[in-house]
Structure 1
Amino acid sequence: MRILLLTSLAMIAFAANSLLSRLALIDGAASAQVFTLIRIMSGAATLSVILLFSSGIKGFYQQWSLGIFSGICLFLYALLFSLAYTQLTTGTGALILFGAVQFSLLGAHLFRGHRFSSVEWLGIVLSCSGFIWLVNPSAQGFSFVPVLSMLLSGISWAGFTLLGQRANAALPATTKGFIVASVISIGLTPWLFSPDNFTTQGLVYGVISGAITSGVGYVLWYAVVPKMSLLNASLSQLTVPAIALLMGVIFLEEALTLSGLLSMALILGGIALTLYQKSTHKLNKQ
């Protein structure tokens, strides 16, 4: 019951990142660049405090070489994420993001020499079909740039995830990634800040996104991941786009269309089928 509760809170936090970004960016409460800076620095500060209390100063000693690459991936993820949400709706953005993450991880799995079964390929084809439907270039109002930004954001997040697998401990590695990403973001400060680039409301959204729904959300997630199977962990993340979609409908009055629901069912259902089959195949080999 405790694992279920913590997992649910972590998924709600991840979905809330999409909502907070959309709230800050849709009305111009902050520019995408400034929102990224505030979010990353708030996350770095929160995670640093948690790491300091849990491991002391020694928690900051090692894994900095890994943290550099993680920080680059994290910065690219956060910046592209914010840029995409200047135009994408909450649910669509989250669906593209998590679809790109899962496709990237499956691609890395294939690149490492693993092979997919026919059922796994079926799941991938279903997901791709749903994705093409979702971002149909012929649809009225389609905009290529935000879709591409969110795709690249998902790929960057997948890179951050793969680098995290090489870490000895998740919290120190994640904290160092945020610190490095903050340093990169601070390098942009001279041309980011002007009275027109952010408001108090945008600042609040950025701090909440960084400190709570990112920082605390990651801590909750990494607390339960070791106690879950890889399949359950992956499938849990597939609930995030659905939660984000509902948040967008409730808080931003975004449209809930049949087309959007069907494309989400194809994408998430296909990925779930692939993950389930891959897990079953692995168990049969043992």
Structure 2
Amino acid sequence: MQILFLTGLAMIAFAANSLLSRLALVDGAISAEAFTLVRIVSGALTLSAILLLSQGAKGFYHQWRIGFYSGICLFLYALLFSLAYTELTTGFGALILFGSVQFSLLGMHLFQGHRFSSIEWLGILVSFSGFVWLVNPSSSTLVLWPILSMLLSGISWAGFTLLGKQSGAALPATTKGFIVAAVISISLIPWAFDTKSISSQGLIYAVISGVITSGLGYVLWYAVVPKISLLSASLSQLLVPAIAMIMGAFFLHESITTENLLSMGLILGGIALTLYQQHRQSSH
């Protein structure tokens, strides 16, 4: 029961990242670039403090090579994520993000030599059809750039995830990724982007996203992951878009249409089918 509760808290934290971004960006309380900068830097400071308290200075000695590459992926994820949420609704953006992450991981699985069964291909086809329905390419009101931005954000997050799996310890590797991403943010964002549009409200949302729903959320998630199966971890993340959609409707009064619910069911159901089939095959 405790593991279930902690897993639920981690998924709520992930969904809250989408909500906080949308709350900060929908009314222009802060620019997407400034939100990214504050979120990453505050997350890096939080994780560094946790690592220092738990492992001392020795926790910072190793894994900087992985941290360098994961930091680049983290920076791209966070910046593209924020840019996309200037236009996308909370649940819509989360669905594209986590769908993109899962498709990227499945693509890497295929690239590494795994051959999908007919049931796995069926799940992928169902998910892809749901995604096409969701973005509705024939719609004249569709704005493509935020969708593309969120897709690329998901690919970057998948890269961050894959690099994290190569590390022996999740907390040190994640902390170093945040530190590198913070250095990149401080180096590039103030010079390349407009950071003048910063209100106290937007700043508070960014700090909460960095410290609580990103920093502490990731620590919580990595504490839970070793205690559950890979299938449970993957399926748990599929709950995030649904939670984000509910949060968006409650806090921002965003509408939930029948089309959105059906497309979400196809995307997440198809991915769940593929993951379950992979789990069955690995068990055998």
Contiguous gaps of at least 5 residues in structure 2: none
1:85-108 Cα shifts (integer Å, max 9, x gaps): 000000000000000000000000
Q: Report the Cα offset of residue 138 of structure 1.
A: 1.3
Matches of 1:42 and 1:140 in 2, distance apart? 39
Instruction: Report the residue type matching 2:133 in the other structure.
Output: W
Question: Which 5+ residue runs of structure 1 have no aligned equivalent?
Answer: none
Please name the residue that 1:118 is paired with.
118
* Aligned partners of 2:34 and 2:195 also within 8 Å: no
Query: Is the CA contact (8 Å cut-off) linking 2:75 and 2:184 kept in structure 1?
Result: yes
Moved over 6 A (4+): none
Instruction: Name the counterpart of 2:18.
Output: 18
Per the alignment, residue 216 of structure 1 pairs with 216
Aligned pairs for 1:103-252 (under 5 A) are 103-187=103-187, 188-190=189-191, 192=193, 195=196, 197-252=197-252
Deviation at 1:190, TM superposition (A): 3.7
The aligned counterpart of 1:280 is: 280
Letter in 2 for 1:250: F
Question: Does the CA-based 8 Å contact 2:31-2:194 persist in structure 1?
Answer: no
Q: Taking every aligned residue pair, what percent have the same amino acid on both sides?
A: 72
* Secondary structure of 1:87's aligned partner: coil
- Name the counterpart of 1:60: 60
For 2:113, the aligned partner's letter is G
Question: Partner of 1:77 in structure 2?
Answer: 77
* Distance in structure 2 (CA, Å) of the matches to 1:140 and 1:232: 39
Task: Show CA shifts across 1:19-64 (max 9, x none).
Answer: 0000000000111100000000010011001000110010001011
**Count of matched residue pairs:** 283
> What is the letter of the counterpart of residue 83 of structure 1?
L
Q: Give the Cα–Cα distance (whole angstroms) in 2 for the partners of residues 258 and 45 of structure 1.
A: 42
Structure 2 residue aligned with 1:263: 263
Q: Distance in 1 between matches of 2:32 and 2:162?
A: 26
Query: Match for 2:203: what amino acid?
Result: L
- TM-score normalised by the chain length of structure 1: 0.98
RMSD: 0.9
- State the one-letter code of the partner of 1:189: P
Report the CA distance between 1:191 and its aligned residue. Answer: 5.1
Distance 2:273 2:198 in 1: 43
Q: Deviations over 1:80-130 (max 9, x none)?
A: 000000000000000000000000000000000001100000000000000
Taking the aligned partners of 1:191 and 1:200, their CA distance within structure 2 comes to 22
Q: TM-score, normalised by structure 2?
A: 0.98
- Give the 3-state SS of the residue equivalent to 1:46 in structure 2: helix
Does the CA-based 8 Å contact 2:6-2:220 persist in structure 1?
yes
